[in-house]
Amino acid sequence: MRTYDFSPLYRSFVGFDRMAGLIDAASQQAAAGNAYPPYNVAQLSENAYRIELAVAGFSEDELDLESHENVLTISGRKEASADNDEAEYLHRGIAERGFERRFQLADHVLVEGAELKNGLLVVSLKRELPEALKPRKISINDGKLIQAKPSGKAKAA
């Protein structure tokens, strides 16, 4: 696996510290080669997303979801069961190891809910922009320039 040094880019970008951290995290995760458990990320509409994680063999009690500072962390801890000790396995293809998978969420993306069905954990996400960030229409006046007076009141010029 090839690794990249992004430090020269950091000297050129001002105020993009968070972006630099994201690039570092993505490159480290790719270098680790962690592919368990497999997952899908789907965009359902402009503001709706879904993460599907294959967690066969895990119950709801063994899964933990946490969203903190734009990072969604999904972890699974498999409890050792007594009935597995009775059988002698000739082949074990179903992974029962614990895992932790992190997803970096964009600003204003919130977790709406999660559902475990048929070995698939489905996490619903929604982007909710605050009113201050939504586009707004600005009306054009009828040719009169509006200037502010020192008292804070506006007068037509």
DSSP 55-96: -TT--GGGEEEEEETTEEEEEE-PPP-THHHHS--S---S--
Cis peptide before 37 (omega within 30 of 0): yes
Query: Which pTM was predicted?
Result: 0.62
Q: Are 55 and 117 a contacting pair, CB within 8 Å?
A: no
| Closest by CA position to 128, among listed 147, 144, 117, 112 | 112
Q: Are 47 and 127 a contacting pair, CB within 8 Å?
A: yes
Tell me the C-alpha distance between 78 and 96, whole Å: 6
Tell me the C-alpha distance between 16 and 136, whole Å: 26
**pLDDT of the chain along its 157 residues, tens only?**
566 666 666 555 555 555 556 556 655 555 555 678 899 999 999 889 999 999 988 999 999 999 998 899 999 998 765 555 678 888 888 777 889 999 988 888 999 999 999 999 999 999 887 777 778 788 777 766 666 566 555 555 4
Helix (H, G, I), strand (E, B) or coil at 46: coil
Tell me the C-alpha distance between 22 and 77, whole Å: 26
Q: Which residues of 56-81 are buried (b: 16+ CB within 10 A; e: fewer)?
A: eebeeeebeeebeeeebebebeeeee
Phi, psi of 60 (to 5 degrees): -60, -35
Domain coordinates in residue numbering, the chain: 1-33, 36-129
Q: Specify the residue for token string 């999660």.
A: 114
What's the confidence (pLDDT) of residue 125? 93
CATH entry, 36-129, from 3.40.462.40, 3.20.20.210, 1.25.40.10, 2.60.40.790: 2.60.40.790
Amino acid at 123: V
What's the confidence (pLDDT) of residue 69? 87
What's the confidence (pLDDT) of residue 137? 80
